[in-house]
Amino acid sequence: MYVDDPARLGESRLPDGRLLAWAEWGPSDGVPVVLCPGAATSRWLGFGAGVVEALGVRLVCVDRPGLGASTPAPGRTLSDFAEDVRRLCVLRGLGHPAVVGNSQGAPFALACAAEGVASALAVVSGADEVAAPEHAASLAAELRGLVERTACDPAGAEEFFGGFTAHAMWDMIMAGSPGCDLAVYRDPDFAHAYRRALEEGFGQGAAGYARDTVLAMGRWPLALERIAVPADIWYGERDTGHSPDNGALLATRVPGAHHRVVPGIGGALLWTHAEPILTSLLGKATTDR
């Protein structure tokens, strides 16, 4: 199994009255690991079925504002999300958790590390900072056009991304994934879980996804060079959708980050290699403590 249903679901009320929704897997007294999930997916899509229990991990997946069951926060920033997670850690007794960022969740996880919320970091198949000048020459024409549009007219770009749907996202994922990933995505149980998470992610409309995408596709106002926690930067060798260079540049921007490229897999890495990802992360979190 790649995924299973959460053991616990809930919403926590933040000081400003908004609700931040979450799902948990593993023992309630386990080592806290916060997951910043991928594009438009809700708290329902975790990873590491069976692995989190065996490793004693309390995995907490969080709906970003406007996605799933979390209250929208128009105009929010990457740092705003890090502050939301900081408050959730107090409310849920998570202490100083390790943080995983998958796909479009990567810049939000990096924000948690840059803002001192995380004790250790794993970026897995992470959306790279495609607006960084170093990547300009290597971007496909369509992606380069979206990056330029986001830079010149962020409000217009956000409106454009607001036209996406759960169905369109699923079709885009299936059309752009290599066969090694499709073997995971077409697994009946995984496909059901992924599509359910997309439907819930778009449950309040597309505004939450649109805001996430503009934040991810623009320049990141994060001091990556000041991240002081141990970090792993994981990519599948056959991943062509998340980073122009499979995270090589990103790894040099995070001090001491360990760059890992795994052969034989692409963007489905989080689900096919949950055990080594979590084992390495737990070792780093323990060392940091």
- Tell me what pLDDT residue 288 has: 43
pLDDT, tens digit (0-9, with 9 covering 90-100), for 111-130: 999 999 999 999 999 999 99
- Count of the separate structural domains present in the chain: 1
- Asked if 269 contacts 100 with a C-beta cutoff of 8 angstroms, the reply is no
Counting DSSP H helices and E strands in the chain, the numbers are 12, 8
Residue 45: inside a domain: yes
Q: Which domain holds residue 60?
A: 8-286
**Tens of pLDDT along 240-250?**
999 999 999 99
User: Is 144 inside any structural domain?
Assistant: yes
3 state DSSP class of 266 = coil
Provide the CATH number for the domain around residue 193: 3.40.50.1820
Joined tokens for residue 230: 């141990």
Closest Cα partner for 180 from 263, 276, 99?
Answer: 263
16 belongs to a structural domain: yes
Spatial contact of 37 and 105, defined as CB atoms under 8 Å apart: yes
Read off the DSSP letter of residue 184: H
pLDDT in tens, 144-178: 999 999 999 999 999 999 999 999 999 999 999 99
pLDDT in tens, 232-288: 999 999 999 999 999 999 999 999 999 999 999 999 999 999 999 999 999 998 644
Does residue 3 form part of some domain? Answer: no
On whether residue 261 sits in a domain, the answer given is yes
Whether residue 81 is contained in a domain is answered as yes
Q: Which residues pair with 34 in a beta bridge?
A: 60, 99
Tokens 């699923």: give the residue: 170
For residue 40, which of 175, 190, 180, 170 has the smallest C-alpha distance? 170
Whether 2 is covered by a domain: the verdict is no
For 83, the token pair is: 């502050």
For residue 179, pLDDT beyond 70: yes
Tens-place pLDDT, residues 3-43 = 999 999 999 999 999 999 999 999 999 999 999 999 999 99
β-strand partners of 124: 102, 234
Nearest to residue 146, comparing CAs of 210, 196, 85? Answer: 210
Provide the token pair at 187. Answer: 């697994």
Q: Quote the crossing angle between the two packed helices 141-152 and 154-161, to the nearest 10°.
A: 120
Residue 1 has a pLDDT of 83
| pLDDT tens digits, one per residue of 181-233 | 999 999 999 999 999 999 999 999 999 999 999 999 999 999 999 999 999 99
Look up residue 239 and give its two tokens: 């991943």
- In sequence order, the β-bridge partners of residue 43 are none
- Helix, strand, coil percent content, the chain, rounded in steps of 5: 45, 15, 40
pLDDT reported for residue 286? 63
DSSP class of 83: H
Residue type, 202: F
Residue 232 belongs to some domain of the structure: yes
Q: Tell me the C-alpha distance between 109 and 100, whole Å.
A: 6
Neighbours of 74 (CB within 10 A): 10
Reduce the DSSP state of residue 63 to 3 states and report it.
coil
